Structure 1
Amino acid sequence: MPVEVILPKVDMDMETGRISRWYAKDGDAVTKGQLLFEIETDKAAMEVDAPASGTLRDISAAEGATVPVGQAVAWIFADGEEYTPTGKSDATPEATPKAAPAEMESAPHPYPLPAGGEREASASPPPSSPRSRGEDAGRQMRGNDEAPRATPLARRLAVKAGLQLADISGSGPKGRITRRDVEANIAVSSPMPAVKESLASTADAPLHAVWLRQGNDPSAMPLVLIHGFGADLNSWRPLFAGIQVDSPVLAVDLPGHGSSTRDIPENLDAVAEQVERTLSAHQIGPFVLVGHSFGGAVAATITDRGNADARALALISTAGLGPEINRAFLEGFVGARSEASLMPWLKQLVVDDSLLSKPFVNATLAQSADEGLRAAQKVIVDSYFADGTQTFDIRPALASLRIPVRVIFGAGDRIIPAAHVAGLPGEIATHIFAATGHMPQLERREQVLRIIQELARATA
């Protein structure tokens, strides 16, 4: 069946979005994770990736169109799949395309949709297309001082190599500068081959990772985010929705999650080693590490191992502080294959289940259809949470740390008891939010982000 491409929700109050750019056109071959289009609201702009590979068909909303959240704007047909034109959507009648907005850092998406790193998009349409006319108008509004378009990784590599983006020609869509463009300029401009050799290729990364934000300050200490069990790196996007941050933000898919390997390492050290290699491939120097739930245990292990230069640690609803965990949730979540069977378990994640919007539920349900993904997560349950018990302990690791550590819990957490924070070393700051469940980063977004940013500033 063809895969629906929907207009996603950028922030919790968003009801519609305006499509400001298309990076591919009807009939183009696209790859999962490739940039498809950009939307904007009064709060943010966001680039949307292809949810599947195939041929893009039936684009129903041109640039300048206002579309309700969750509505289909195109379809992707798999290679060899018979193309039958779909019904067009009822998007708000197209307005005259406005000038394209100045380049904005991609705003985060609050729901688990596939996200790619650097991907090549289709070539630009002819000058007579609405997209070209809109971009010409945008250039007139911005003048000639437009900042070069570049991927977050390309920006970081350019800063490290001392290159100016304005001096680099981009080979990506709309002239976007990619990692390969920066590395090519390093090879030409530097007589020292060791510089180029030191730039590890992300192809060497064992886990999938994406720069969610490039940050306002390329020199600011990056944030590295590790999600919890059953989620993926996209689960962090709501934390930054509509908010500008100084730090670049890199999120990693753990084994058995998202687009990472389905092979599950036998212990936390082995998981940590894969994350460490991934960070090395992405040229991470000193950073602030943030982990949620099972990802918190991984983050604590990484910090304790000392192979990566983590300068501060934030643990949200972390596993590994006690033996108890909601066994019924783990087994029910992994086994659910319908909305009716999934919803009772999703509701246990939060105190206010109105936060579980339809797009979020649909995206999680779509993941449940991936039998390989759920089989890998069943292995995690059996190995790390055998018989409803957390079989690992991060307390010794936390006791040995000499960096700032913050532990955040919801008092109403029904997955891991907040009481597990008792007995932590006195120098570890703990934050327990009332009327909050297992996802404080969603339920107490502003407070959690403030804690993380305080850590980043204090360690800069």
Structure 2
Amino acid sequence: MGPITPIVMPKWGLEMREGTVQDWLVREGERIEVGTALLDVDTDKISNSVEAPDAGLLRRIVAQSGETLPVKALLGVLAEQDVSDAEIEAYVAAYEVPVIDSGDEDAGPAFDYADVDGIRVRYARRGPESGTPVLFIHGFGGDLNNWLFNLDAVAEKHPVIALDLPAHGQSQVKLAGTTLQELAAFVGRFMETIGVPSAHLVGHSMGGGVAAQLAVDAPQKARSLALIDSAGLGDEVNADYTDGFVRAESRRELKPVAELLFNDTALVSRQMLDDLLKYKRLDGVAEALTALGTTLFGDGRQREQPGKALGGFDGPVLVVWGREDRVIPSAHAAAAPAGAVVAVLDDAGHMPQMEKANEVNALLRRHLGQ
């Protein structure tokens, strides 16, 4: 009998426990290539497609549309024709979902904390212990969960670190300054505090501006730079988003603002809105976001544009944009430094690392392999 390869519920992000099967995109009897999108899965954060980790013949679809299953549950089976139906039936019947506990390969706490300049910072580490880490920096009003589809994909080959910036996520609600220069200096001190002399910097939106500023001010700390729908490469920014996010106080007010982040507005779930409102209602968050937003993005203008000063940075640069971005125009990708790899992705808005996670992860892996 030939090998039987399971297709299992992936673990996207640090807190995912289960997912709901939506639609299968392939049929039993189809030959599958590595990277083929097999089915769509909904989580409490967002939906995404599950890619084939192996090539083979899809012999059995096990999980049906509408089923909610734990991480690592069996979704389907790949096997060649020399494997009998009876052998597949026996495999499916005997399959047990591995328990995710302290004995799992994800052992250890999901999050760490560091004290930087008197501010308590939450961060996460994944992947191998040796090698230059990849540091993920989220955007305005975001947190490290903005990378939930990307961290594990990159951590297969590289050490990965993602932090919550000051006054974001579960870091202390205390600003480290309101300019990209001050935020970049803070991230540099965060790296020193956790013992990381240099990293591959990956920044989204405001976090891209922070990463670019750090590469300009302290190039020895930046081995390479990946900017995703980044601030700092042009003048315009949509004040309906930056101001609207700060002002919104209810689900009804926040929904149209959050929908500006995506090309597919159906991705804005009730859970996403509830999580954002919970964060915004923390003591001091409204004041911190107001101060930060006013300094960085007041009147729909970006005050600082470090991305335009990257001509002297000699590390590899990747610039990724969602073509339908309604927060920072995709036309800003044209300001990428000479020699940068630029990818503008169709059918994606301001969050391509979520909407087009598989394409973004492939671009990141190629970039990091340089």
Same fold (TM over 0.5): yes
Return the match for 1:277 from 186, 189, 205. Answer: 189
Query: CA offsets, 1:309-349, max 9 Å, x none?
Result: 21110000001111111111111111111111110011110
Query: Separation in 1 of the partners of 2:297 and 2:107?
Result: 36
Residue 256 to residue 15, structure 1, CA distance change in 2 (3 Å): closer
Residue 327 to residue 247, structure 1, CA distance change in 2 (3 Å): same
Q: Which amino acid aligns with 2:140?
A: F
CA contact (8 A) 2:208 2:230 kept: yes
Return the match for 2:356 from 436, 444, 452. Answer: 444
5 Å-filtered alignment, 1:246-265, equals: 246-258=157-169, 259-265=171-177
Q: How far 1:442 moved relative to its partner?
A: 0.3
Q: Which amino acid aligns with 2:209?
A: A
Residue 208 to residue 228, structure 1, CA distance change in 2 (3 Å): farther
Local SS of the residue matching 1:422: helix
Query: Separation in 1 of the partners of 2:290 and 2:215?
Result: 26
Answer yes or no: is 1:454 the counterpart of 2:366. yes
Residue of structure 1 equivalent to 2:277 = 365
- TM-score normalised by structure 2 residue count: 0.70
Identity of aligned residues (%): 31
Residue 431 to residue 394, structure 1, CA distance change in 2 (3 Å): same
Q: How far 1:207 moved relative to its partner?
A: 5.1
Query: Separation in 2 of the partners of 1:316 and 1:284?
Result: 22
Q: Which amino acid aligns with 1:347?
A: E
Query: CA offsets, 1:233-260, max 9 Å, x none?
Result: 2222232368852222111222332213
CA contact (8 A) 2:18 2:43 kept: no
Answer yes or no: is 1:117 the counterpart of 2:147. no
Answer yes or no: is 1:41 the counterpart of 2:71. yes
Query: Separation in 2 of the partners of 1:13 and 1:221?
Result: 32
Query: Separation in 2 of the partners of 1:391 and 1:311?
Result: 26
Residue of structure 2 equivalent to 1:163 = none
5 Å-filtered alignment, 1:180-191, equals: none
Higher strand share: 2
Q: Which amino acid aligns with 1:42?
A: K
Query: Separation in 2 of the partners of 1:397 and 1:223?
Result: 22
Residue 329 to residue 218, structure 1, CA distance change in 2 (3 Å): same
Query: Separation in 2 of the partners of 1:439 and 1:445?
Result: 9
Q: Which amino acid aligns with 1:419?
A: A
Residue 107 to residue 288, structure 1, CA distance change in 2 (3 Å): farther
Answer yes or no: is 1:298 the counterpart of 2:210. yes
Query: Separation in 1 of the partners of 2:264 and 2:73?
Result: 24
Query: CA offsets, 1:340-384, max 9 Å, x none?
Result: 111001111001122223322211121122251121011111111
Residue of structure 1 equivalent to 2:333 = 421
- Stretch of structure 1 that moved more, 96-105 or 231-240: 96-105
Local SS of the residue matching 2:200: strand
Local SS of the residue matching 1:203: strand
Residue 338 to residue 206, structure 1, CA distance change in 2 (3 Å): same
Residue 103 to residue 97, structure 1, CA distance change in 2 (3 Å): closer
Query: Separation in 1 of the partners of 2:97 and 2:233?
Result: 54
Query: Separation in 2 of the partners of 1:254 and 1:203?
Result: 12
CA contact (8 A) 2:188 2:221 kept: no
Answer yes or no: is 1:434 the counterpart of 2:333. no
- Stretch of structure 1 that moved more, 375-384 or 389-398: 389-398
Residue of structure 1 equivalent to 2:318 = 406
Query: Separation in 1 of the partners of 2:248 and 2:147?
Result: 23
Residue 300 to residue 423, structure 1, CA distance change in 2 (3 Å): closer
Residue of structure 2 equivalent to 1:104 = 105
Residue of structure 2 equivalent to 1:145 = none
Q: Which amino acid aligns with 1:317?
A: D
CA contact (8 A) 2:126 2:159 kept: yes
Aligned residue pair count: 289
- Stretch of structure 1 that moved more, 406-415 or 256-265: 256-265
Query: Separation in 2 of the partners of 1:394 and 1:306?
Result: 12
Q: How far 1:204 moved relative to its partner?
A: 4.3
Q: Which amino acid aligns with 1:104?
A: E
Query: Separation in 1 of the partners of 2:321 and 2:98?
Result: 44
Query: Separation in 1 of the partners of 2:273 and 2:303?
Result: 30
Query: CA offsets, 1:387-442, max 9 Å, x none?
Result: 11111112442111111000110110000000112243330111100111000100
CA contact (8 A) 1:296 1:316 kept: yes
Return the match for 1:338 from 240, 243, 250. Answer: 250
CA contact (8 A) 1:327 1:387 kept: yes
Determine which structure has greater relative contact order: mean sequence separation of CA pairs < 8 Å that are 6+ residues apart, divided by chain length: 2
Residue of structure 2 equivalent to 1:177 = none
Query: Separation in 1 of the partners of 2:303 and 2:201?
Result: 23
Q: Which runs of 5+ in 2 are unaligned?
A: 1-14, 20-39, 45-68, 75-95
Q: Which amino acid aligns with 2:263?
A: V
Residue 439 to residue 369, structure 1, CA distance change in 2 (3 Å): same
Query: Separation in 2 of the partners of 1:364 and 1:397?
Result: 33
Query: Separation in 2 of the partners of 1:15 and 1:413?
Result: 23
Structure with the greater alpha carbon radius of gyration: 1
Q: Which runs of 5+ in 1 are unaligned?
A: 1-6, 17-38, 45-95, 109-114, 119-201
Query: Separation in 2 of the partners of 1:374 and 1:308?
Result: 35
CA contact (8 A) 2:308 2:336 kept: no
Local SS of the residue matching 2:284: helix
- Stretch of structure 1 that moved more, 291-300 or 326-335: 326-335
Return the match for 2:151 from 226, 240, 248. Answer: 240
Residue of structure 2 equivalent to 1:150 = none
Residue of structure 1 equivalent to 2:41 = 13
